[in-house]
Amino acid sequence: AASDLNYVILRYFNVAGADPQARIGQSTPKATHLIKVATETALGQRDGMAVFGTDYPTEDGTCIRDYIHVEDLASAHLAGLDYLQKGGESTILNCGYGHGASVTEVIETVKRVSGVDFPVKLKPRRAGDPAQLISDNSKILATLDWKPQYDDLEFIVKTAYAWQQKCVELEQ
């Protein structure tokens, strides 16, 4: 109400992966993001990891989440700015791929990419965890000149793993 400033709000889903050249990535200590935890476990930075809940109404009983590569998220921001520069109206957009992967699928992908069969403990559900969180990305696809380039779980994991390997090497 104070000005005629237009905006684009992006609702992020599960941002993952790293720069494909491993120049930058997530380096949060004690991170809780599934892909980060799994790559740290594969590289021996953690003794093991846990899966919280195997009784959800999903194909394999574990939660499903919509993972988006960080590079696609960055390009969505640029597309949002371009949209506003061309006179676009204020809008709120879900920023994800519109489909998900289960916790089990993510862990299996990390094991395959890393070549390491690390320990996973099965634990009870965490309070409040929904079975699925998947974006309806139809509005962002229709509104912005944005097309995801990295919509592939294995690629997301490969870039996250390469980044985590680099972090381990830098620590040594």
Q: Quickly list DSSP for 129-147.
A: --SEE----HHHHHHSS--
Q: Is the pLDDT of residue 4 over 90?
A: no
Give pLDDT tens digits for 81-104: 999 999 999 999 999 999 999 999
- In residues, how long is the chain? 172
Give pLDDT tens digits for 100-126: 999 999 999 999 999 999 999 999 999
Structure tokens at 58: 């999903």
DSSP class of residue 122 equals: E
- Measured CA to CA, the distance from residue 34 to residue 168 in angstroms comes to 18
Give pLDDT tens digits for 48-80: 999 999 999 999 999 999 999 999 999 999 999
On whether the pTM is more than 0.85, the answer is yes
